[in-house]
C-alpha cells in the first residue's frame, strides 16, 4: 500500500468530528461469544510494544482483508462494525462468519476523521497511512497491527515474518476477545496444515508477481514479508530474495535475466479476474519470452494468499500442489 502524508489535526477537532458523525457510524453488532475466560484488562504485544485492552472489543474497525480473516479465525469477526482499505479485493469464501459488505466504510486507507467518526473501540489492520495513529490513540481508540505487517507503515517496527506469525496472531486475538478456545483450535489446525504442506528446497526458482492496480507497473514480492515465507515453505527459491523490501517494482528485463522456473501471479488485488490478471501480465513487453511463460508454468493465486492471514496457508498448499513434479 502506498504511504501517504498524515494530516496534522488536533485531537479536540477529532472528538468534535466523532460527535458530529455519530449518526453515520456503523450499527451495533453482536459481540463475540467469549469462550476463553479472559479477565480484563489484558496486555498483548504489538510490533514490539505492549498494548493494554481494558475490555472486550465490541466495535472493531478493520484495515485490510487480512484483519477480517484473522478475526474470523479467532472467532471474533462478529465484532467488526466498519471495514476499510480492502481496495475492492474480495474476502475468501472460506470464512466461518463473514461480515457484511454494508460495513465497508472506505475501500481505501481510512482518514483519522473517518476512524474516529466510526466510533470503534479497536482498530486492527496492516497499519495507518492516511490517518495518524497517535491521534487515533489520543481519541481513546487502541490500535493493533496485523503482526505480519509490522514495519509496513512508519509507526511500527519491522519484525521477522514466517508462517508461524499467522497462528501466533490468531492466538493473540483470542486473548484480546476472550475467544481463546476457538482461536487456539483454529491455530492448531493451521499449524498442522503448514507442517503437512511444507517441503525441502526443490532447486527450482520462482518470481511472485502482481499489479497492485490497473495503472501500476509490474511488481514482485521480495525477500521480506509473508509471500517470501510462503515461497520458502514451498521449497522454491525466490529470485528476488536478496531484496530486503517486501514489495518491489520490477522489470521484464530483470525477470528475463533471472529466468525463474515458475511464475506465481496474484489476481484480485483491485477486483480483477484471474483472466484479466493473466492478460495484463502477458501484455508486458518481454514477458512472453520467459521460459516459464512459454512452458505454461504460471500459478494463479488469489490476492489474499499473499497476506499474513490464514489464506496464506491455502496459498502455500496451492503453490506446492501446482509445482509438484
pLDDT in tens, 46-64: 999 999 999 999 999 999 9
Cα gap 21→111, rounded to integer Å:
13
Torsional class of 241: left (φ above 0), alpha (ψ -120 to 50), beta (otherwise): alpha
Say which residue the cell 525466490 belongs to. 238
Confidence of residue 174 (pLDDT cuts 50, 70, 90): very high
Instruction: Let me know: does 137 contact 143? Beta carbons within 8 Å.
Output: yes
83-103: pLDDT as tens digits: 999 998 889 999 999 999 999
Across the range 246-265, mean pLDDT stands at 96
Domain that holds residue 235: 199-323
Same domain for 173 and 281? no
Region 270-279 average pLDDT: 95
Do residue 179 and residue 64 come from a single domain? yes
Q: Are residues 178 and 262 in the same domain?
A: no
State whether 131 and 251 are in the same domain.
no
- Examine the pLDDT at 28 and tell me if it is beyond 70: no
Question: What's the pLDDT tens digit per position in 130-165?
Answer: 999 999 999 999 999 999 999 888 788 888 899 999
pLDDT bucket at 32, cuts 50 / 70 / 90: low
Residue 4 falls inside a structural domain:
no
User: Which residues have a Cβ under 8 Å from the Cβ of 66 and sit 6 or more positions away?
Assistant: 125, 126, 146, 148, 149, 304, 307, 308, 309, 311
Judge contact between 28 and 60, C-beta under 8 A.
no
pLDDT digits (tens, 9 = 90+) for 222-241: 999 999 999 999 999 999 99
- Long-range contacts formed by 184-188: CB under 8 A, 24+ apart: 186/73, 186/74, 186/75, 186/310, 187/73
Residues 134 and 186 both lie in one domain:
yes
- Residue 1 in domain: no
Q: Which pLDDT tens digit goes with each residue over 201-211?
A: 999 999 999 99
Do 175 and 34 have their domain in common?
A: yes
190 and 203 part of one domain: no
User: Are the C-beta atoms of residues 135 and 9 closer than 8 Å to each other?
Assistant: yes
One domain for residues 25 and 145: yes
Q: What is the C-alpha to C-alpha distance for residues 57 and 3, in angstroms, rounded to an integer?
A: 28
Residue 6 lies inside a defined structural domain of this protein: no
Q: Are 87 and 215 in contact (CB under 8 A)?
A: no
Rounded-to-integer distance, Cα 228 and Cα 308, Å: 11
Angle at 205 between CA 280 and CA 231, to 5 degrees: 80
Together in a domain, 155 and 258: no
What pTM, to 2 d.p., does this model score? 0.86
Burial 180-192 (b: 16+ CB within 10 A, else e): bebbbebbeebbe
Whether residue 96 sits in one domain with residue 59: yes
CA-closest candidate to residue 176, choices 55, 282, 79: 55
Q: How far apart are CA 63 and CA 127, in angstroms?
A: 7
Instruction: Please provide residue 124's backbone torsions phi and psi, each rounded to the nearest 5 degrees.
Output: -135, 125
Amino acid at each position: 500500500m502506498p504511504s501517504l502524508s498524515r494530516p496534522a489535526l488536533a485531537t479536540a477537532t477529532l472528538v468534535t468530528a466523532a460527535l458530529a458523525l455519530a449518526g453515520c457510524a456503523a450499527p451495533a453488532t453482536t459481540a463475540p461469544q467469549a469462550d476463553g475466560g479472559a479477565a480484563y484488562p489484558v496486555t498483548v504485544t504489538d510490533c514490539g510494544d505492549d498494548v493494554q485492552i481494558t475490555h472486550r472489543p465490541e466495535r472493531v474497525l478493520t484495515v485490510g482483508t487480512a484483519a477480517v480473516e484473522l478475526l474470523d479465525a479467532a472467532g471474533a469477526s462478529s465484532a467488526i462494525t466498519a471495514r476499510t482499505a480492502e481496495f475492492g479485493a474480495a474476502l475468501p469464501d472460506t470464512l466461518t462468519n463473514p461480515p457484511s459488505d454494508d460495513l465497508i466504510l472506505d475501500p481505501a486507507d481510512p482518514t483519522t476523521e473517518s476512524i474516529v467518526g466510526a466510533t470503534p473501540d479497536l482498530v486492527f489492520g496492516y497499519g495507518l497511512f492516511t490517518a495518524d495513529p497517535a491521534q487515533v490513540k489520543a481519541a481513546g481508540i487502541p490500535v493493533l497491527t496485523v503482526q505480519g505487517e509490522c514495519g509496513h507503515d512508519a509507526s511500527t517496527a519491522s519484525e521477522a515474518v514466517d508462517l508461524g506469525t499467522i497462528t501466533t496472531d490468531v492466538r493473540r486475538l483470542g486473548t484480546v476477545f476472550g475467544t481463546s478456545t476457538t482461536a487456539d483450535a483454529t491455530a492448531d489446525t493451521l499449524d498442522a496444515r503448514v507442517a503437512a504442506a511444507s517441503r525441502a528446497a526443490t532447486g527450482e526458482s520462482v518470481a511472485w508477481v502482481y499489479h497492485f492496480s490497473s495503472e501500476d507497473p509490474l511488481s514482485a514480492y521480495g525477500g521480506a514479508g509473508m509471500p517470501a515465507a510462503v515461497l520458502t515453505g514451498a521449497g522454491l527459491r525466490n529470485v528476488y530474495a536478496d531484496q530486503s523490501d517486501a514489495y518491489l517494482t520490477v522489470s521484464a528485463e530483470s525477470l528475463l535475466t533471472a529466468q525463474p522456473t515458475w511464475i506465481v501471479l496474484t489476481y484480485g488485488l483491485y477486483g480483477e479476474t484471474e483472466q484479466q490478471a493473466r492478460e495484463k501480465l502477458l501484455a508486458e513487453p518481454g514477458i512472453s519470452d520467459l521460459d516459464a511463460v512459454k512452458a505454461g508454468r504460471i500459478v494463479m493465486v488469489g490476492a489474499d494468499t499473499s497476506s499474513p492471514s490464514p489464506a496464506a496457508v491455502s496459498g502455500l498448499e496451492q503453490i506446492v500442489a501446482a509445482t509438484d513434479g
